[in-house]
Amino acid sequence: MIRTQKNAATYSTFAASALALLVSGQVLAGSVTTDGPDITIKTKGGFEAAAVDKSFSFKLGGRIQADFDQFDGVYTKNGKSANEAYFRRAILELSGTLYHDWKYAFNLDFGEKGESKWDEASMTYTGFKPVNIKVGRFDPDFGLEKATSSKWISTIERSMIYDAGEWVNDKQDGMGVQVSGTTHMFYGSAGINRAKNNEDSNGSNNNSYNLRGVIAPMAEAGNVLHFGLNYAKRSTEDFDGRIRSRMAVRGTTEDTANGNRPTFASSQVGQFDNDSAWGLEVAYALGPFSAQSEYLRREISAKSASAMKDRQVDGYNVQLAYSLTGESRGYKLDGGKFDSIKPSNKQIGAWELVYRYDHLSVADADVDTSGRFYDTEAKVHTMGVNWYANDAVKVSANYLKAKTDKVANTANDDSGDAISLRVQYVF
């Protein structure tokens, strides 16, 4: 316990010192070149040092996201209003290049309670252009919104359709290898991930397998046409098949006293033996307007001798966003993802409006008291506004309205409302 506390204190001291250095660096701009001239130092948006020939580079940055949620109805256990304030993320990021062909990324996430964990720890070899090989701890590649950094998604939380199967794009504290590449209008990736504490009866790790392909005939800021296809499958033994969702409000699990994370399909340990998912994604952007939509289906097969039926989980979303000040969302074909909005007016910043509709359903979710199987369902409307005050600060506000079917809290509420606020600083 003493060692853990000392480590937490050391991490916190280091993070505070690094943050102070980076915040002070925000007032500087441009670059400084040595007499060599072989090294360039940049202090705008973190601290970066790089060789002019790009053989070596070093960048220190990160993000802080401070959130506040107010929620009621089905979002709480007893239906009464609750709220929670917390650090959603506090990540220190270290990345760079070695010997031209090696890239590294080490991101440490500092928890609110003094805990810390690796958000990413990976090495990538880029010498087989256009193919890259990544090894380490990182999120598997599945879905457009998941590929987009949490810094630059238009809503505060990602779509609840990913709750249909968190393993499809979550590292689960394991290790993996991924091969990816970008050429012309195409991007693709294939990966294997070994989740922590997921072993068979002989002690061998079970794996998850991911495939993602993207074609983008238009792939630049304000001019995007994007189509994607995803597939994921995992080997596992005796998983419970449970489906839960925060319905896009993280505070429901941060608030342990009254927060409610509804269950759409109950835990049935040992009743299922096959798990796979596939997804579709499409996006379009024209100037300050962008639209995107994703569909995800997860298929959970019951054992032949099981009393349960196969479970089928379907989720889809539709999102519309518009920049009132005229800026376009950035886009990167490498990774098949949207990127940041850069304010063109440094006095008023950039203002963005967003609306998203989420739908999640589970077929043959559970059995009622009469022995009949029934389905569960949820719908969530999210309306929001984002203020990009500058390249480093973003302030967001979301209003969410949820409605469920065959899912309720202890007070029998099947609807709820939430307000989510976030202040984000990126360096």
The model scores a pTM over 0.85: yes
Which pLDDT belongs to residue 391?
A: 94
Q: For the residues 50-63, what does the mean pLDDT come to?
A: 91
State the alpha helices, DSSP H only, in 114-161. Answer: 144-147
- Tokens representing residue 162 in the block: 């990913």
Contact residues for 79 (Cβ-Cβ < 8 A; gap 6+): 72, 73, 409, 410, 411, 413
CA distance 220 to 215: 13
pLDDT of residue 427: 92
Contact 422, 395 (CB under 8 A): yes
Q: Phi, psi at residue 359, to the nearest 5°?
A: -140, 130
Dist CA 67 CA 89 (whole Å): 9
As to burial, measured by CB atoms within 10 angstroms (0-12 exposed, 13-18 middle, 19+ buried), residue 377 is middle
Which residues, other chains included, contact 189 with Cβ-Cβ below 8 Å and sequence gap of 6+?
141, 178, 179, 180, 181, 210, 211, 212
Task: Look up residue 409 and give its amino acid.
Answer: N
User: What is the C-alpha separation between 178 and 166, in angstroms, rounded?
Assistant: 18
pLDDT, one tens digit per residue, over 272-281 is 888 999 999 9
Least confident of 96-100, 104-108, 168-172: 168-172
| 106-165 confidence digits (pLDDT tens) | 999 987 666 788 899 999 999 999 999 999 999 999 999 999 999 999 999 999 999 999
Distance CA 91, CA 64 (A): 6
Closest CA to 106 of 153, 60, 45, 152: 60
Residue 216 to residue 228: CA distance in whole angstroms: 9
Token pair belonging to 236 = 């596992």
Domains of the chain: 61-99+121-426 (2.40.160.10)
pLDDT on residue 32: 52
Nearest to 140 by CA among 205, 212, 60, 82: 212
One DSSP character per residue, 10-50 reads HHHHHHHHHHHHHHHHTT--SEEE-SSS-EEEE-TTSEEEE
Q: Provide the pLDDT confidence category of residue 235 given band limits of 50, 70 and 90.
A: confident
Q: What is the pLDDT of residue 237?
A: 67
What percent of the chain is predicted at pLDDT more than 90? 75
- The tens digit of pLDDT for each residue in 314-334 reads 999 999 999 999 999 999 999
